[in-house]
Amino acid sequence: FCMHGGLSPQLKNIEMIKYIQRPTEIPDSGLLCDLLWSDPSPDIKGWDNNERGVSYIFGKDIVNKFLRKHDLDLIARAHQVVEDGYEFFASRKLVTIFSAPNYCGEFDNCAGIMSVDQTLMCSFQVLQPLQQ
C-alpha cells in the first residue's frame, strides 16, 4: 500500500480511496488530507494530533492493525526527510522513502529509491548528497 503521507483514522476500507473526487483541492482535514500529510511516530500508540498543525501522527499499533485488516505486508510512503534516504518503522512494516537529497539546501540527507521485483522483494538504492 503506497501513499504520500500516511494512514487515516477515517480509512475503514481501501475502496474508499476510489471515491475521492479528482481533481480536487486538498482539504484541511479528512481522508485525503491524512493520506497526504499524516506521519508515523515511534513515541505513541494510536492516533494523536500532528505537530505540523495538520492531520495526525500514528503509532506502530495502527500500522499493524491496518496491515492485518487489509491482508497487506508493507506500507510505502514519502513526505518526511529521512537521513539515509529510506527508513523503516514498525518492525519493517512501513518504510519512508525520501527521494530529494540535500532537501531545500537545508538538510544533508541522502535520497532513496525503492525497487520491487517480480517476487515482491524490495531493494533500495541510496544516492549520496552533493558535497557543498
pLDDT-based confidence at residue 53 (cuts at 50, 70, 90): very high
CB 43 within 8 Å of CB 71: no
What digits encode the pLDDT tens for the residues 79-94?
999 999 999 999 999 9
pLDDT value, residue 127: 95
User: b or e along 97-126 (b: 16 or more beta carbons within 10 Å of the residue's beta carbon)?
Assistant: bbebbbeeeeeebbbbebeeeeeeeeeeee
What value does the mean pLDDT of the chain take? 96
pTM assigned to the model: 0.93
Distance from C-alpha of 97 to C-alpha of 113, rounded to nearest angstrom: 7
User: Is pLDDT above 90 for 130?
Assistant: no
User: Is pLDDT above 80 for 132?
Assistant: no
pLDDT value, residue 105: 87
Cβ partners under 8 Å of residue 120, min gap 6:
73
94 phi, psi to nearest 5 deg: -135, 140
DSSP 44-85: -SSEEE-TTSSSEEE-HHHHHHHHHHHT-S-EEE--S--TTS
User: Is pLDDT above 80 for 131?
Assistant: no
